[in-house]
C-alpha cells in the first residue's frame, strides 16, 4: 500500500509570506498527486492535480511541483483566506485507494 507523508504537520506564517508544504509518497506515483485546501467547517477544495496543474479558478499564488515520490505545494504572498489545512492525495494505485496525507495546518503567526 502507498503511504503519503506530509511535512510539516503545522506551520505558522504571516500575510504576504511564501510557504512550502511537502508531500512524500512511499513509492513512485509518477505525477498522480492532488492538493486540497480545507477551511474549518467546509468541504475540501481541489487546488492542484497531476502534481502541477492548477484547478480552474484557483489563484496563481498557488503552485505545485514534483514527480516520483516528492512533491511540494507553494503558496506565495499569503492571503488571509489561505489559512487552512492542506492535504495531498495520491491517485496512482490500481485498484484505487486514494490515500491522503495527514494534513498540514497553516495558521496565522
Partner 1 sequence: QVQLQESGPGLVKPSETLSLTCTVSGDPISSNSHYWGWIRQPPGRGLEWIASMYYSGSTYYSPSLKSRVTISGDKSKNQFFLTLNSVTAADRAVYYCVRIRSYVDVWGKGTTVTVSS
Binding site for partner 1 (CB under 8 A): 32, 34, 36, 42-46, 49-50, 55, 87, 89, 91, 95-103
Q: Which is nearer to partner 1, 34 or 75 (CB)?
A: 34
Which residue, 38 or 76, has its beta carbon nearer to partner 1?
Answer: 38
* The three grid cell numbers given for residue 3, joined into one nine-digit string: 503511504
Other CB atoms within a 10 A radius of the CB of residue 29 amount to: 22
Closest CB 89 distance from partner 1, rounded Å: 7
> In terms of CB distance, is 68 or 100 closer to partner 1?
100
Q: What angle do CA 84, 87, 93 make, to 5 degrees?
A: 165
Strands 70-75 and 85-90: unpaired
| CB 79 to partner 1: min, Å | 22
Measure the CA–CA gap between 40 and 49, rounded to whole angstroms: 22
What is the closest distance, in whole angstroms, from the C-beta atom of residue 5 to partner 1 in the complex? 12
Min dist CB 14 to partner 1, Å, is 25
- Residue among 17 and 100 whose Cβ is closer to partner 1: 100
Q: Is 66 helix (H, G, I), strand (E, B) or coil?
A: strand
User: What is the distance of C-alpha 49 from the center of its chain?
Assistant: 10
Amino acid at each position: 500500500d502507498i503511504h503519503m507523508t506530509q511535512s510539516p504537520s503545522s506551520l505558522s506564517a504571516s500575510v504576504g509570506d511564501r510557504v512550502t508544504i511537502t508531500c512524500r509518497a512511499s513509492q513512485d506515483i509518477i505525477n498522480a498527486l492532488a492538493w486540497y485546501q480545507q477551511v474549518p467547517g467546509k468541504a475540501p477544495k481541489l487546488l492542484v492535480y497531476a502534481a502541477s496543474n492548477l484547478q480552474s479558478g484557483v489563484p496563481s499564488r498557488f503552485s505545485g511541483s514534483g514527480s516520483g515520490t516528492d512533491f511540494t505545494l507553494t503558496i506565495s504572498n499569503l492571503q488571509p483566506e489561505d489559512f487552512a489545512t492542506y492535504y495531498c492525495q495520491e491517485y496512482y494505485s490500481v485498484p484505487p485507494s486514494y490515500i491522503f496525507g495527514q494534513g498540514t495546518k497553516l495558521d496565522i503567526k
